[in-house]
């Protein structure tokens, strides 16, 4: 028996009223003109996990924590009819023109306009622009009985018009301040277009690159993902939601969405309680503690119950144990889709299940607006449950300042001056170059010289001005990104030394958010031109990878190898010139073993946003020393997926001498091609021996881990120092490594700095099968280095006394 203690959180003062978020679901996501609007307490008991959905309700009257706002909400609620209450919980898509007449015979939109005018709509998504949001708001404020303002929401994922690297790419910077800044700029631009609320950040932990939406998250690690989640939430929301340059954020998808079986979007999720609490939930708990305004639930299921109807997730855990004060919004039609799950008999049944489980806002299913009033009248849903959901919605509207001024976000001057401004583009360029991960650099071929080198720029993505914008691109202008060719040409002293050939197309059709993309699998007619210019060049820069619409929602793949004829193009060019620098542009980890065997250098650039070409060129030519590190492991083969560094040891870790009976593949190594946290630099870094403040601590004490980091190369650079631990023996089996700290350290050539990490109860414990957080006495290993392959650096013990 191991001695342990349990940690429970003191109730944090979370943002009051917060608005839950919804997100994506592409169907019909047109944009008309938008609208939408530790302290640690040691205790010996904790709430056990009961995923039985029966009666997981929060019955107490909801209070936001702000007495003044609560008083106003109660005064307004007392005036509302049941129909008006239901309206506040109804969210409509804005792909119909509220600024113009509804066409005769269009019963669908006629009814929606009637609902808007009668107070039957509380929020809208995909209504974008000051003109559109102002007109929709005018209808809500001037034509409804109570004049309750609307919330306008939109998927602002990695920028509004100014695009930053896709979230997975930006996470590769490991620069939390940068992530907060880019989210703030996105909020500035989105709020200037009349928006109040974004369905971001996506904070699902993703470990299967086949799942297309890994591009939207922060990768495979819950500790890292929690830090990134808080940074992005702080960037969107700022210190005061009533400020017109902030927007409400939404933590999604609660919970387990990225664990879809076989990496197939919307597929079944079947996970253990230990995985749920130790891997999936930590970023969401961090988001709740950071005061995120809204949560969005998931399309997936937990223990056979669709997340939208999970009383355990939404009521017991989120609103109960975590004392979350914001609101929960469904994903697009996820209430209606419970019928397809085989969980709900009809839409009325689905509405009852969702509202009773803690889902406050219905996005686009029309389940609440059609059935919730009759469910209350029949007694299937208590009106107090509806009242609590409405309170959460109204609180967010008060927090945003919309009752004080419904048009506070509707400024034509800001819309004209704040969106796409030069200062934002400069940050986008900085984000692009900081997100680059140098995977290989044989013979120090990089950085390239800006003069005297003949450079052949080749590849289907080399002069692509659209794919760098990535998927989930909000209001980005198509083909507005700086291409790699443009970046290279601008960086060299003589553009005549730069030649270009596309070599081959990547996608032949379907390059749109709602379309199925078609990949070129046989047209190699452009190879000859590429081979010709490569033969005359000193170095080839080849841009290959994925089209922007190969990753994202509903973009799951059975293979994560290079698609189409790209590998064949590389092979053909390498026959005449083996000095090839590969620039990967992609939204997920790729299996590029063949490239790794042959390319001289490989640069992971992701879909890097509006300033992609300039940011990548900054790295290629040495204006910026690459500092990015991978937020997800890169597999050798698709068959290794899901793949992540923090695996369990198993009972047969092997290998044994002349023994095949251990956990391994017979046709490939277990290890990734590039591990989590990996990334090279143009300089070298040396880690000293690790020193500990003590060799033994009590389980409720902290330990300092110090190392001296030295830049031993000839260039200034930035290293991401990473701290991992291993709990050697536990009451449940523990991973072989877990990230518990990281720091960006800037060092001039020859400079040394001491880096100190702190380990304590918050980082040494884990959740057991009942969802209780334990810190157990025992022995621990510490690993410090530049990636998750770091070797054991020290050991210490935690004791019960």
Do the Cβ atoms of 527 and 569 come closer than 8 Å?
Answer: yes
How would residue 499 be classed by pLDDT, with cut points 50, 70 and 90? very high
Cβ within 8 Å of residue 531, ≥6 positions away: 572, 573, 575, 576
Q: How far apart are CA 278 and CA 298, in angstroms?
A: 18
Alpha carbon of 664 to those of 105, 354, 671: distances in Å? 64, 43, 10
Cβ within 8 Å of residue 586, ≥6 positions away: 545, 546, 550, 551, 604, 606, 607
**621-652: per-residue pLDDT in tens?**
999 999 999 999 999 999 999 999 999 999 99
SS3 of 721-756: EEEEEEECCCCCCCECCEEEEEEEEEECCCCEEEEE
CB hemisphere CA count around 431 (13 angstroms): 34
Do the Cβ atoms of 133 and 596 come closer than 8 Å?
Answer: no
Question: Among 37-41, 265-269, 412-416, 670-674, whose mean pLDDT is lowest?
Answer: 37-41
pLDDT value of residue 264 = 97
Helix (H) or strand (E) holding 321: none
How would residue 659 be classed by pLDDT, with cut points 50, 70 and 90? confident
**513-566: per-residue pLDDT in tens?**
888 999 999 999 999 999 999 999 999 999 999 999 999 999 999 999 999 999
pLDDT value of residue 513 = 86
pLDDT value of residue 99 = 52
**Predicted model pTM:** 0.92
Two structure tokens written together for 333: 């039609």
Report, as an integer, the average pLDDT of 354-365: 98
What percent of the chain is modeled with pLDDT above 70? 91
pLDDT value of residue 58 = 57
Of 633, 567, 572, the C-alpha closest to 594 is 567
Q: How far apart are CA 527 and CA 531, in angstroms?
A: 6
Angle (CA) 27-400-95 rounded to 5° is 20
Report, as an integer, the average pLDDT of 375-380: 98
How would residue 103 be classed by pLDDT, with cut points 50, 70 and 90? low
Report, as an integer, the average pLDDT of 362-386: 98
To 10 degrees, the CA torsion angle through 654, 656, 658, 664?
0
How would residue 12 be classed by pLDDT, with cut points 50, 70 and 90? very low
pLDDT value of residue 792 = 87
**222-278: per-residue pLDDT in tens?**
999 999 999 999 999 999 999 999 999 999 999 999 999 999 999 999 999 999 999
How would residue 776 be classed by pLDDT, with cut points 50, 70 and 90? very high
Which residue do the tokens 């095949």 mark? 660
68 pLDDT above the threshold of 50: yes
Do the Cβ atoms of 642 and 631 come closer than 8 Å?
Answer: no
What percent of the chain is modeled with pLDDT above 90? 88
Residue numbers annotated as active site? 331
- Phi, psi of 428, rounded to the nearest 5 degrees: -60, -40
44 pLDDT above the threshold of 60: no
Which residue do the tokens 């956990």 mark? 663
10 pLDDT above the threshold of 50: no
Strand blocks (E) in 478-565: 498-501, 507-509, 518-519, 539-545
408 pLDDT above the threshold of 70: yes
33 pLDDT above the threshold of 90: no
Q: How far apart are CA 7 and CA 766, in angstroms?
A: 10
Report, as an integer, the average pLDDT of 583-594: 98
Strand blocks (E) in 4-131: 4-9, 40-43, 90-93, 123-125
pLDDT value of residue 270 = 96
State the helix-helix crossing angle for 612-620 and 422-435, rounded to 10 degrees.
50
State the helix-helix crossing angle for 176-192 and 422-435, rounded to 10 degrees.
150
pLDDT value of residue 268 = 96
pLDDT value of residue 97 = 58
71 pLDDT above the threshold of 50: yes
Alpha carbon of 578 to those of 362, 458, 539, 598: distances in Å? 56, 14, 8, 8
pLDDT value of residue 29 = 32
701 pLDDT above the threshold of 60: yes
């Amino acid at each position: 028996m191991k001695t342990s203690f349990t940690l429970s959180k003191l109730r944090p003062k979370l943002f009051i009223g917060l608005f839950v978020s919804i997100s994506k679901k592409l169907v019909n996501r047109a944009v008309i003109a938008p609208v939408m609007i530790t302290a640690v307490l040691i205790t010996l008991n904790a709430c056990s996990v009961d995923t039985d959905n029966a009666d997981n309700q929060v019955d107490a009257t909801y209070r936001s924590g702000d007495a003044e706002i609560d008083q106003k909400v109660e005064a307004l609620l007392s005036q509302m009819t049941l129909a008006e209450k239901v309206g506040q919980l109804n969210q409509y898509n804005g792909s119909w023109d509220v600024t113009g007449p509804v066409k005769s015979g269009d019963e669908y939109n006629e009814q929606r306009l009637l609902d808007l005018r009668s107070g039957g709509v509380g929020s809208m998504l995909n209504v974008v622009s000051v003109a559109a949001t102002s007109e929709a708001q005018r209808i809500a404020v001037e034509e409804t009985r109570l004049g309750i303002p609307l919330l306008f929401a939109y998927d602002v994922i990695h920028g509004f018009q100014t695009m930053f690297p896709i979230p997975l790419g930006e996470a590769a910077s490991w620069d939390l301040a940068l992530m907060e800044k880019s989210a703030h700029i996105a909020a500035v631009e989105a709020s200037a277009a009349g928006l109040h609320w974004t369905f971001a950040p996506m904070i699902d932990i993703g470990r299967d690159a086949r799942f297309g939406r890994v591009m939207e998250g922060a990768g495979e690690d819950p500790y890292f993902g929690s830090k990134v989640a808080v940074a992005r939430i702080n960037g969107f929301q700022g210190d005061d939601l009533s400020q017109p340059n902030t927007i409400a954020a939404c933590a999604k998808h609660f919970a387990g969405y990225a664990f879809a079986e076989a990496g197939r979007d919307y597929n079944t999720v079947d996970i253990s309680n230990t995985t749920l609490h130790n891997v999936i939930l930590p970023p969401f708990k961090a988001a709740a503690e950071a005061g995120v305004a809204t949560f969005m639930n998931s399309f997936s299921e937990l223990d056979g119950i669709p997340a939208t109807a999970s009383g355990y997730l939404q009521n017991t855990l989120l609103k109960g144990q975590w004392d979350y004060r914001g609101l929960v919004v469904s994903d697009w039609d996820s209430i209606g889709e419970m019928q397809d799950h085989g969980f709900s008999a009809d839409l009325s049944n689905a509405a009852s299940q969702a509202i009773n489980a803690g889902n406050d806002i219905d996005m686009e299913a029309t389940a609440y607006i059609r059935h919730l009033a009759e469910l209350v009248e029949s007694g299937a849903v208590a009106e107090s449950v509806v009242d609590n959901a409405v309170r959460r919605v109204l609180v967010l509207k008060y927090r945003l300042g919309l009752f004080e001024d419904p048009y506070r976000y509707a400024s034509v001057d800001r819309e004209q001056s704040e969106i796409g401004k030069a200062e934002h583009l400069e940050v986008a360029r900085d984000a692009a170059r900081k997100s680059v991960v140098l995977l290989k650099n044989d013979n120090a071929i990089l950085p390239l010289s800006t003069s005297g080198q003949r450079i052949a720029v080749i590849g289907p993505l080399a002069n692509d001005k659209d794919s760098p914008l990535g998927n989930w691109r909000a209001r980005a202008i198509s083909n507005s990104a700086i291409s790699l060719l443009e970046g290279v040409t601008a960086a060299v002293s003589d553009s005549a030394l730069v030649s270009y050939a596309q070599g081959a197309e990547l996608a032949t059709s379907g390059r749109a958010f709602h379309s199925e993309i078609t990949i070129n699998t046989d047209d190699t007619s452009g190879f000859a031109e590429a081979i010709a210019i490569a033969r005359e060049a000193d170095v080839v820069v080849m841009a290959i990878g994925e089209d922007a619409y190969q990753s994202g929602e509903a973009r799951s793949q059975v293979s994560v190898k290079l698609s189409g004829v790209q590998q064949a193009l590389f092979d053909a060019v390498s026959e005449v010139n083996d000095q090839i620098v590969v620039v990967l542009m992609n939204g997920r980890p790729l299996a590029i073993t063949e490239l790794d065997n042959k390319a001289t250098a490989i640069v992971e650039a992701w879909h890097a946003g509006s300033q992609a070409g300039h940011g990548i060129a900054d790295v290629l030519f040495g204006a910026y020393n690459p500092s990015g590190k991978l937020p997800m492991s890169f597999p050798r083969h698709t068959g290794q997926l899901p793949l992540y560094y923090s695996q369990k040891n198993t009972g047969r870790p092997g290998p044994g001498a002349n023994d095949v009976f251990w956990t391994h593949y017979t046709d490939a190594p277990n290890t990734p091609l590039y591990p989590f946290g990996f990334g090279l630099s143009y300089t070298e870094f040396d880690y000293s021996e690790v020193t500990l403040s003590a060799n033994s601590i009590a389980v409720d004490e902290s330990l300092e881990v110090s190392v001296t980091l030295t830049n031993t190369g000839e260039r200034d650079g930035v290293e991401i120092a990473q701290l991992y631990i291993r709990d050697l023996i536990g009451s449940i089996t523990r991973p072989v490594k877990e990230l518990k700290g990281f720091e960006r350290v800037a060092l001039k050539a020859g400079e040394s700095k001491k880096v100190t990490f702190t380990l304590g109860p918050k980082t040494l414990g884990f959740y057991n099968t009942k969802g209780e957080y334990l810190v157990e006495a025992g022995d621990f290993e510490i690993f410090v280095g530049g990636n998750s392959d770091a070797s054991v650096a020290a050991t210490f013990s935690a004791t019960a006394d």
